[in-house]
Amino acid sequence: MKSLEEIMAIKEQVQSELSFENNPDGIRVLVGMATCGIAAGARPVMDALVEGVKAAGLEGKVTVTETGCIGICQYEPIVEIYEKGKEKVTYVKMTADKAKDVLEQHIKGGKPVEDYFLKDADGTPKSSLAETNFYKKQKRVALRNCGVINPEKIDEYIGKSGYLALAKVIREMTPDDVINTILASGLRGRGGGGFPTGRKWMFAKASVSDKKYVVCNADEGDPGAFMDRSVLEGDPHAVLEAMAIAGYAIGADEGWIYVRAEYPIAVRRLKIAIEQAREYGVLGNNIFGTDFNFDIHIRLGAGAFVCGEETALLTSIEGNRGEPRPRPPFPAVKGLWGKPTIINNVETYANIAQIILNGAEWFSSVGTETSKGTKVFALGGKITNTGLVEIPMGTTLREIIEEIGGGIPNGKKFKAAQTGGPSGGCIPAEHIDTPIDYDNLIKIGSMMGSGGLIVMDEDTCMVDLAKFFLEFTVDESCGKCAPCRIGTVRLLEILKKITSGNGEMEDIDKLEELAAYIKSASLCGLGQTAPNPVLSTLRYFRDEYIAHIKDKKCPAGVCKSLLRYEIDPDKCKGCTMCARQCPAGAISGTVKQPHVIDPAKCVKCGACLTTCKFGAISKK
């Protein structure tokens, strides 16, 4: 067990090591070893660097260590090199062979290898990600340590002022002081609903009980979302410290982290972090020599989307089938095992310690009037730069897409962005200058959600997109209430009817009427928001629905039942490549003569279109 004085000594020692104070010629090499990095091949890169340093006898000078998600995931594996008095150098799309080159030329020879730098749109190599547009407009609070520290070493977290917020809280502040600070900061829940965090804590503190719980919702289920996973993989102690602070504020001595089993790296690092925190005495009994006790347990979820809803999550922790409960009573009054419980998601907790250390005014100075601080987004889809971004609330969608995201690739036009996953809605191009915050998104028919942001270009069919999210919702519905269990199936049937070319104009009215019933009558928030993708696409892209129904055409050329492929006889050279690639034998013709496609045989796979070098084949 470490005293506060020992924690402070560790902080000073680590800061000295990270600044190379006692080793001015030292070199620190960080390898991105989050899920994205490992999937891209970071493990051989890491091994090559470790073995190379050892073989060269540089172990006293060069430290090779793993870190979490650095952010710009499409360029993984990423290696960053820190040296005293120099800007960090970033290498992207690394391999074991490239790592050996970096070891020889940069680490041993002192000359960075420009060939492995990230290049700007004009081809200019950038030695550091900090110089790129992807990072310039970001402000990292929740992600402050991700890609910077080794998440499996508690000392490195302490070196970044870790657990000092907890010490400050239990030694200098009352529970009311803590809650008032969180209230004054304006922090709202980052899990989707945007409920003020301080108010939730205040309600739980006011509930009288012999037992209370603090729960972390790490059941991130939105398609394309990986914000919480990245925090757990890159900075797990930030969540543990925040949960202990929350426990002190409401009078709880026990916490639970509900994390999906599909996140094995996050789970492993959480287990390591909890054991280290117990060993250091920042979890357990008599924390920092006080009478405050708090410990944390992990519960693995099976990946059910509905368990992202807080009451279904609590039911699952209790060992029962994950189904939502009617509210009220709310969890702050009657939650886990019938006791007062607060539930916040990973990103919400990741802000807490910084608010305590820097003050409510510091946090509230960032963002908009009603949405304070920053928001983490998983940026994906038809965008040049994909990855994890953290931006101040109020940043416009245009800034995210055109500056941070690098714009739409292949000269395509921006069509829409989907926020909030299956519970959210589409933001069309006409609203690209909308400042992103909770209230603005609701006004235009979308929602913040947990932070997935999927960008779509002109080749996206919005009817098909609505169908995709409904298919997900139908699969993930827990089935407890009829409006969600049956209503979403009926919505999906209508969408399938439209995209198959059998739609009728009355179907649009049926979609809107049925969506209204589902929203008003479903038991939980997931069912109530399930129709949002349908309603938002109808609101902004009704003409596409009409085209599918009246003209029997998919304007984006996506819905197979409404497609046909044609060969222009004036452009066809009779090279026979399309016929050889067609898996259905639907293309006929002789050499050097125009070919034709038999629509009865065509399976609309598009192989002919991608094969033709003369632009003779078009999609109608």
The CA-based diameter of the chain, rounded to the nearest angstrom, is 89
Please enumerate in sequence order all residues whose Cβ is within 8 A of that of 178, keeping only pairs 6 or more positions apart, or say none: 169, 201, 245, 248, 249, 356
Looking at the chain, the domain(s) classified CATH 3.30.70.20 span 564-619
Residue among 226, 246, 259 at smallest CA distance from 34: 226
Identify the pLDDT of residue 386: 92
In this structure, the number of other CB atoms found within 10 A of the CB of residue 111 comes to 9
Residues 134/71, Cβ–Cβ less than 8 Å: yes
Average pLDDT over residues 477-484: 92
Band of pLDDT at residue 423, cut at 50, 70 and 90: confident
Identify the pLDDT of residue 187: 97
CATH number of 4-132: 3.40.30.10
Residues 237/68, Cβ–Cβ less than 8 Å: no
Residues 341/258, Cβ–Cβ less than 8 Å: no
Identify the pLDDT of residue 119: 84
Q: Give the pLDDT confidence of 374-390 residue by residue, as tens digits.
A: 999 999 999 999 999 99
Query: Does residue 77 have a cis peptide bond before it, meaning omega lies within 30 degrees of 0?
Result: yes
Identify the pLDDT of residue 620: 82
Give domain 154-364's CATH superfamily.
NADH-ubiquinone oxidoreductase 51kDa subunit (3.40.50.11540)
Look over the chain and give the mean of its residue pLDDT values, rounded to a whole number. 94
Please enumerate in sequence order all residues whose Cβ is within 8 A of that of 442, keeping only pairs 6 or more positions apart, or say none: none
CATH number of 374-457: 3.10.20.600
Query: Does residue 594 have a cis peptide bond before it, meaning omega lies within 30 degrees of 0?
Result: no
Identify the pLDDT of residue 193: 79
- Decide if pLDDT at 474 tops 90: yes
Looking at the chain, the domain(s) classified CATH 3.40.30.10 span 4-132
Band of pLDDT at residue 126, cut at 50, 70 and 90: confident
- Decide if pLDDT at 608 tops 90: yes
- Decide if pLDDT at 121 tops 80: no
Q: Give the pLDDT confidence of 531-567 residue by residue, as tens digits.
A: 999 999 999 999 999 999 999 999 998 998 898 899 9
DSSP 3-state assignment of 88?
coil
Identify the pLDDT of residue 184: 98
Give buried/exposed letters for 163-179 (b at 16+ CB in 10 A, else e).
bbbbbbbbeebebeebb
Structure tokens belonging to residue 7: 């924690």
Band of pLDDT at residue 224, cut at 50, 70 and 90: confident
Identify the pLDDT of residue 377: 94
Helix, strand, coil abundance in the chain, percent, nearest 5: 45, 15, 40
CA distance 594 to 572: 5
Please enumerate in sequence order all residues whose Cβ is within 8 A of that of 373, keeping only pairs 6 or more positions apart, or say none: 141, 185, 186, 187, 351, 363, 364, 366, 367, 392, 393
CATH number of 462-549: 1.20.1440.230
Band of pLDDT at residue 125, cut at 50, 70 and 90: confident
Q: What share of the chain in percent tops pLDDT 90?
A: 85
Identify the pLDDT of residue 526: 87
Identify the pLDDT of residue 393: 96
Residues 563/547, Cβ–Cβ less than 8 Å: no
Band of pLDDT at residue 303, cut at 50, 70 and 90: confident
pTM score, two decimals? Answer: 0.93
Q: Which residue carries 């930030």 as its tokens?
A: 238
- Decide if pLDDT at 33 tops 90: yes
Band of pLDDT at residue 217, cut at 50, 70 and 90: very high
Residues pairing with 295 in the sheet: 254
* Neighbouring C-alpha atoms within 13 Å toward the C-beta of 202: 13
Could you tell me the strand order of the sheet in which 374-381 lies?
Answer: 387-392, 374-381, 452-457, 414-419, 425-428
Band of pLDDT at residue 54, cut at 50, 70 and 90: very high
Band of pLDDT at residue 295, cut at 50, 70 and 90: very high
- Decide if pLDDT at 123 tops 80: no
- Decide if pLDDT at 448 tops 90: no
Residues 379/455, Cβ–Cβ less than 8 Å: yes
Residues 448/218, Cβ–Cβ less than 8 Å: no
Q: Which residue carries 């907790």 as its tokens?
A: 349
User: HEC profile for 255-300?
Assistant: EEEEEECCCHHHHHHHHHHHHHHHHHCCCECCHHHCCCCEEEEEEE
Looking at the chain, the domain(s) classified CATH 1.20.1440.230 span 462-549
- Decide if pLDDT at 579 tops 80: yes
First to last CA, the chain: 70
Among the CATH numbers 3.40.50.720, 3.40.50.1820, 3.20.20.70, 3.30.70.20, which is that of 564-619? 3.30.70.20
Looking at the chain, the domain(s) classified CATH 3.40.50.11540 span 154-364
Identify the pLDDT of residue 614: 94
DSSP 3-state assignment of 439?
helix
Residues 28/81, Cβ–Cβ less than 8 Å: yes
Residues 11/237, Cβ–Cβ less than 8 Å: no
Identify the pLDDT of residue 177: 98
Query: In 103-212, which ranges are E strands?
Result: 118-119, 125-126
In this structure, the number of other CB atoms found within 10 A of the CB of residue 112 comes to 19
Q: What share of the chain in percent tops pLDDT 70?
A: 100
Question: Pick the residue with more confidence: 317 or 122?
Answer: 317
Identify the pLDDT of residue 191: 83
Identify the pLDDT of residue 449: 79
Looking at the chain, the domain(s) classified CATH 3.10.20.600 span 374-457
- Decide if pLDDT at 573 tops 80: yes
